[in-house]
Amino acid sequence: MLRSVLLGVHITAGVYGLVLGPAAILAAVRGGRATTGAAAYQVAVAVVTTTAVGFAVLDWRRWWPFLILAVGTEWAVAAGWRVRRRPRPGWLGRHICLICGSYVSLVTALMVVSWGTRLAWVLATVVGTMLIEVVAHRAAAPGALPSAAGAAVSGTVQPPEHGQEGADTTVS
């Protein structure tokens, strides 16, 4: 019974994460304020991680490797938000890599469950990593991104201060 409930919550949160991930990625690439979709994505990943802990508690031998992946995914989301909130030179590229990397984890999980082959692990990871590197590299090139993000890369726009999520980013 408990396993069925955990599985239902895990799948539901995973689906929400897959649906909301593009909003989080778009917010990351733009480099401005976080969106409600990006915040909801973080919650979905946290729920997936929490249910993964539950699976590991129920059957440690079988699930411990997936627990490591789930915790790593949650770490990437949390670190991405921290990088955004405490910007330093090059913050936007790191933010993009972390948020997009967490999404690659969710896509990989979906492919592994759907395909049931080792190819799913490799394909999702290799293709996802290549795409992330291209986007992060473009974000690091001044003027390569839309207005707010391009200014953020050049250091003239900072993300909103802590507690001001709804505030627009402003050029200094």
Q: What is the dihedral of CA 120, 126, 129, 135, to 10 degrees?
A: -110
pTM (predicted TM-score): 0.77
- The span from the CA of 95 to the CA of 140, in Å, is 11
Mean pLDDT for 132-158 is 60
- The span from the CA of 37 to the CA of 43, in Å, is 10
Asked if residue 19 lies in contact with residue 43, where contact means CB atoms within 8 angstroms, the answer is no
What confidence tens digit (pLDDT) does each residue in 19-66 have? Answer: 999 988 888 887 766 778 888 999 999 999 999 999 999 999 988 888
Those residues whose C-beta lies under 8 Å from the C-beta of residue 139, and which sit 6 or more positions away, are: 29, 31, 92, 93, 96, 145, 149, 153
Locate the domains of the chain by residue range.
2-154
What confidence tens digit (pLDDT) does each residue in 153-164 have? Answer: 444 444 444 444
